[in-house]
Amino acid sequence: MAEFNWFTALVGGILIGISATLLLAFNGRIAGISGIINGAITFNKDEIWRWMFILGMLLGGVLYEYELALEPTPKSTFAPVAMIIGGFLVGFGTRMGSGCTSGHGVCGLGRLSLRSLVAVLTFLTTAIITVFIVRHVLW
């Protein structure tokens, strides 16, 4: 397991907050990643900003991993099939919950949305239960 680095976590959180604020201030849009990706792949009329946002996220990750990280990110030991199934379940959950953790957690809570608070509490509760089951019941 990689050691926690509070400085990179702080800088990353600040950058996420700034990008969400700038997108809302200059574009009037919420930085919910599932909604941005959905709009990009369904080819909405205003898709250019969506593709630029996605490209910026990908390039930011590549820049960090290959130029700024003090040590490489540990490789996952999960089976690819399990990761694909998990990805589809997350996608289904974001459609069912009308948004993802980035939209509700970063943007919704910042706007004091009660609906987002309920969504985030649901996400966290589900995550805690899932980790408990996987770590203490299944293994």
For 47-87, the pLDDT digits (tens) are 788 888 889 989 988 998 888 877 777 777 778 888 888 88
Distance CA 24, CA 51 (A): 16
Q: How far is CA 125 from CA 4, 119, 130, 131, in A?
A: 22, 10, 9, 10
Q: Quick one: CA dihedral 55, 60, 63, 92, positive or negative?
A: negative
User: What pTM did the predictor assign?
Assistant: 0.69
Tokens 């976590």, residue? Answer: 9
List Cβ neighbours of 102 (8 Å cut-off, separation of 6 or more).
16, 20, 31, 32, 33, 34
- Residue 107: closest CA among 36, 6, 11: 36
- Residue 61: which of 51, 72, 77 has the closest Cα? 72
77-119 residue pLDDT tens: 778 888 888 888 887 877 777 777 778 888 888 888 898 899 8
